[in-house]
Amino acid sequence: MNSLRNRLAVLVLIAVPVSPTRAEDVGGRWGTEERERAYYPIVNVPIPKDLVVEAGAFCPLPDGRIAVGTRHGEIYLLGGIDEKRPNPTFHRYATGLDEIFGLAYRDGAFYVTQSCELTRVTDTKRDGRADRFETVSDAWGYANYHEYAFGSKFDKAGNLYVALGLSNSYDSYALFRGFALKVTPEGKTQALASGLRSPGGIGFNEHGDLFYVESQGPWNCSCSLKAVAAGSFQGHPASFNWYKYAPELGPVPAAPKSGSRIVTEKERVKQLTPYAVIFPYIRMGRSVTGFTVNRTRGKFGPFEDQIFVGDYTLSVIMRATTEKVNGVWQGACYPFREGLSTGILNVEFTSGGSLVCGGTNRGWPVRGPKAFALERLDWSGKVPFEIERIGIEPAGFRVAFTKPVDAATGGDPKSYRVSTFTHPYHGGYGGPEIERAEPTVTAVRLAPDGRSAVLTVDRLARGHVYEFDLGALRSRDKDDLLHRNAYYTVNEVPAGK
């Protein structure tokens, strides 16, 4: 009964109407769908009328096709996904699996992360239909519909990684629920990290390190990207009861104190990993999901080597960049594209350099009007005036742009509005933005080419999100920014030279 009440509480929380202030945030900080269309049009990928394709995972194939794993446990191979006006072929390769949220391919075999196990799926008869299903790892428990499992692509050593959600928001009733696991090429499963709550995807950042997406909920006031290092604790203590089965993790971490701050608890709980990139609630998503890195070599515009991540509830795509400071990961997130047709579960780049997006509206309310959809984001060839990325400096931040900024606005400190906030680190579901402040940008050094500006800020606070509003800036050809806001999570401040 307690488990049922918890799940209902989650559903009620997600369905709460947006307050007027938050609605203004969504409309004012996004509300750019018509302008976005000129740079990144949304192309519908038609699905045959007799098929239900609720995409939970994508995998590009060597022959240019893309494989789609679905919530219903099917794998479809799509040909023609990159055609200008796509009308792709759908070939059902496999069925009978369960909620596919991880799909990798190697040496003629698919490696499928489904709720109950990691499965190798092959076509031994070479007739285009899977006929062999082998368990690679079933080292975790599964007994509840909400116990999702998310899988990665292969790393350079041939390992795969699985992120396991809790039995519900608050508890871990089945083995290793709330853990991240590593599965070696030999099939050995090792515990990698604990403290996960409700992951939405696991993979590698633009630097090749392992990350996962965490959802807003207990011990997580907003969604976030988090780095996954061996032996790390990701913040939710419900999974501590499984440490006795994972000696490779070492001793059980100290219990975190609810109501504290993440930077405070990090000093006391040595295994605790802070959020690398916080996505401010509603302004930057409500249920962040699968992510991928742009390696298209310019085919997708000016955002090479950046993370693209979906959001289920708001049906949007966002960008993120990360950097390591004093040995700790942190970074920024940026709006990118709204107006998708359903709740986004995953995204992936095609061989042609487009971003394919897919998902469903099953289970929770979403902004997109369709029950399920496949869509493709193309780059039109036009470069938008955007905040390309933000990095931290010893006394402030470096902001890079996709187009040169004019000297009049770019050299004026008043053009750079900055505010900050943090969250309580607590066991309650979600939480407020607290300790708000408005630091002053005291100086700006605009690069001669206008493509970057170094800001001196009078206050850098660890554990805070720095919210940028750069709406006053203009490019040299008098464009205003397509998206005026960005959000940088400060875990560490670099030392001065």
What does the pLDDT read at residue 29? 53
**How far, in Å, CA of 222 to CA of 228, rounded?**
18
CA distances from 199 to 12, 196, 221, 291 (A): 20, 7, 14, 12
Q: Is the pTM of this model over 0.85?
A: yes
What does the pLDDT read at residue 408? 97
- Closest alpha carbon to 403 in 302, 278, 259: 302
**How far, in Å, CA of 146 to CA of 473, rounded?**
45
Average pLDDT over residues 451-456: 98
Say if 41-377 and 387-490 have the same CATH topology: no
Nearest-10 Cα torsion for 350, 355, 356, 357? 150
Strands 55-60 and 396-401: unpaired
Structure tokens at 54: 């609720």
Q: Kindly write down the DSSP assignment for every residue of 209-264, as one continuous string.
A: -EEEEE-SBBTBSSEEEEE--TTEE-S-GGGGGGGGG-GGG-SPPPPPPTTB-HHH
Give per-residue pLDDT as tens, 62-95.
999 999 999 999 999 999 999 999 999 999 999 9
What does the pLDDT read at residue 30? 61
User: What's the pLDDT band for 5 if we cut at 50, 70, 90?
Assistant: very low
Per the prediction, the chain carries an average pLDDT of 93
Q: Break the chain into its structural domains and give their ranges.
A: 41-377, 387-490
Q: What percent of the chain shows pLDDT beyond 70?
A: 94
**How far, in Å, CA of 239 to CA of 232, rounded?**
12
Superfamily of domain 41-377: TolB, C-terminal domain (2.120.10.30)
**pLDDT at residue 312 greater than cutoff 90:** yes
User: What's the pLDDT band for 362 if we cut at 50, 70, 90?
Assistant: confident
CA distances from 303 to 212, 384, 452, 482 (A): 21, 11, 15, 14
- Closest alpha carbon to 370 in 341, 407, 344: 341
Tell me, which fold does domain 387-490 have in CATH? Answer: Immunoglobulin-like (2.60.40)
- Considering all CA atoms of the chain, what is the largest pairwise distance in Å, rounded to the nearest integer? 69
